[in-house]
Structure 1
Amino acid sequence: MTDLSVGQFVNDLAPVQSQDTADNRKVGAEIYIEKLHKFYGDVKVLEDLDLTIQAGEFIAIVGRSGCGKSTLLRLIADLEQASYGEIKFKSTENFREGITSDDIRVMFQDPRLLPWKNILENVQLGLKKQQHDKAAQLLEKVGLQEKSKLWPSQLSGGQRQRSALARALSHTPRILLLDEPLGALDALTRLEMQNLIEKLWLEQGFTTILVTHDVSEAVQLADRIILLDKGHIRQQFKVELNRPRKKNAQFAELEQQVLDAVLAT
């Protein structure tokens, strides 16, 4: 793949490998999407979509409402079935088709915590008894160790999303799917959550796909930004900004280029 400067888009589908991504390859899983189609009756949501995502890569998917972003995430998570086409996964251990709950976790805009269980019990969901200590460790990582015995209703929106993130990561996923999880948060809490997600991604190395309407958020977090338009990949932007990212002239230039591309669809 030709080396591109910040702000230029990638016409091919080759994955982008940054130093951060290279460090994550042992944990994350590669994703291969081939000739993917999704129809709802006569409505084409995704059509002939091809995409390769490198192990440990952080991908952001942007585009107008209804372009197929969340549908693509649900197909990867096996929450819906493709009309036809393939989604394959490859880890350091094996090459396999299909999805297992141990490998992939999804975080939604709604934290989906069980109201009758406290925060620690919510994070422990699905874990074996001998793994329960891991839930407490993750609550400490997200800054909620002192809130572990509270009910979800007693937490702020940001704290509930931190709890949902801890629950998702308690299973040590190879792939983390983020379906606009920060969309309902206030600006300051959103920035704090972005920093937390990036920190844990760098520490744990899972492959991450973020669906967002926030172009600034995509530039802040992603190695590569995918622009979807009417079920097709319209453009790909390679993000070559050092981490942690600062909102400098380069950041603003790329943000404007991605925004202009979205508005042109």
Structure 2
Amino acid sequence: MRGFTGDGPSPWTDLERPPLDAARLRRALVVPGGVWTSLEVVAETGSTNSDLAARARAGDAEGAVLVAEVQSAARGRLDRRWSAPARSGLFVSLLLRPGPEVPPARYGWLPLLVGVAAAAALSRIAEVEVGLKWPNDLLVTVDGSERKLGGILTELAGAAVVCGMGLNVSLRQEELPVPTAASLALAGAAVTDRDTLLRALLREIAELYGEWRRVGGDPDASGLLPAYTARCTTVGRPVRVLLPGDRELLGRAVAVDGDGRLVVRTADGADHPVGAGDVVHVRPQADER
């Protein structure tokens, strides 16, 4: 996802886009027995995921949260680059160490878990219905069209997993990176205060992560699979799946399986599960039913 480059002076004041209050966030979220063990807000960095991955490899404890007011070298899935104006969104990474309770084979559920938690928290707090496009996009409807609100990127860092999320909060129409992007403000959100949103997001993620971890990462026992399926806008639609090597798969997305893969049913009735690491893009196609 590309975005506003941030060149030149910001047209926004601190009153319009106030900085996050790190001290208040820590008091609310870093509590005894909780998932989050530290929370840092930096004015600017290249990539919160890269920074936290380096800290994970150096041995930082689980539960570290790193938030940036602006990122200069943020990355999306498949190393796509994007940027956004300072203080226009939430750019946050989380350090998680699910083992030994959770088999590494189930770590692939973490981006879906973060997506479910984010969609649930935003729908409740901001009063905007948020859907999930498999595998890692948050969607809202603006002017009758479905648009991208944010994205999620997870990566392994030794025995740890770093989960990053970028969420557009106050972007105006003229600041959007592409016409298919959106922000909470453009979607008519009831709440756009970033402190309030971040508290809700992190509490929701912590609750769902704790339950998922308690049952060994089982997506059914934790309720994660049905919760994801219920919010996934990809399931039930005709799709065109672009694969490496200029290959493609045409069919209908019929399910998300127990491994977090999208199951695509082709015209011959065969089901083809595809993992997030196997696809370049998943595009909707015209429904010919």
Structure scoring higher RCO (CA < 8 A, sep ≥ 6) equals: 1
What TM-score results when the alignment is normalised by the length of structure 1?
0.27
What TM-score results when the alignment is normalised by the length of structure 2?
0.25
Question: Higher helix proportion, which one?
Answer: 1
